[in-house]
Amino acid sequence: MIEAVLHATPLFWPGTLLSVLAALLCRHRLGRWLGVVPFTAFLLVLSLGGIVTFTLLPNLDAHYMDNLRYADPVWQTSWHVPRPAELATVNQQSLNVALFVPLGVAIAQIRPRTRAVLTAVAAAALPFGIEAVQYAVPWLLRAADAQDIAGNLLGLALGMTALALPFPRTRSGRSGEPPRSCRERTAR
């Protein structure tokens, strides 16, 4: 499936290169403005570039194009939140979810929280904008699909909550058993 996606997106490598360059150029300034370390700003720009590369660059896979709806007035509106079984394999649904996870991880690290909330709202609007562009611009050879919006929003939510999960720490600060209190250490 990944090979088919890369074959259908011949501009993947140039898009990735431009995304990396843009992320490298603006990571420090954007990081200061968002209150994050430069790596997080790099991840934010890189993930946005990846989203644009995979969703808005023309799709040139002829076999795949035969089965798509291009600006079809009967836009598919039946959708559901992807189930874990659907995400366990590499398919269009799991790729739609995975595409937005890094963006969610980067947004979860933004400080102050008001900027994080504003960025999260903009990121949540992004899947709707992408599908609207895919619907309105048929020469992109992309299919507008409400199910993609559900997958993208799930990936964004998973990424934003991944860092909020409690991870037990050892005395050395690594994950593992929780550190002992001072009383437990001196009682021995």
pTM: 0.76
**Side-chain half-sphere CA neighbours of 15 within 13 A:** 17
Tokens of 161: 């909550």
Tokens of 159: 């990424």
Query: Does 76 or 126 have the greater pLDDT score?
Result: 126
Mean pLDDT over all residues of the chain?
80
Find out whether 100 and 48 touch, Cβ atoms under 8 Å: no
Query: What are the residues facing 169 on neighbouring strands?
Result: 175
Cα radius of gyration (the chain): 20
| The predicted structure's pLDDT at residue 169 | 47
Nearest Cα neighbor of 68 from 22, 134, 10, 19 is 134
Q: What are the φ and ψ backbone dihedral angles of 169, each rounded to 5 degrees?
A: -120, 150
| The predicted structure's pLDDT at residue 80 | 73
Tokens of 127: 């899947």
Q: In this predicted structure, which of 86-90, 123-127, 174-178 has the lowest mean pLDDT?
A: 174-178
**pLDDT tens per residue, range 31-55:** 999 889 999 999 999 999 999 998 8
Average pLDDT over every residue of 155-162:
94
Nearest Cα neighbor of 98 from 154, 150, 17 is 154
Tokens of 171: 């005395």
Q: What distances in angstroms separate CA 108 from CA 116, 117, 122, 133, 159, one per listed residue?
A: 7, 9, 13, 27, 8
**pLDDT tens per residue, range 52-108:** 998 888 876 544 444 444 444 444 556 677 778 878 888 888 889 999 999 999 999
**DSSP three-state, residue 143:** coil
Average pLDDT over every residue of 16-27:
95
- At position 169, the amino acid (one-letter code) is R
**Side-chain half-sphere CA neighbours of 176 within 13 A:** 7
Cα 14 from chain centroid (whole Å): 19
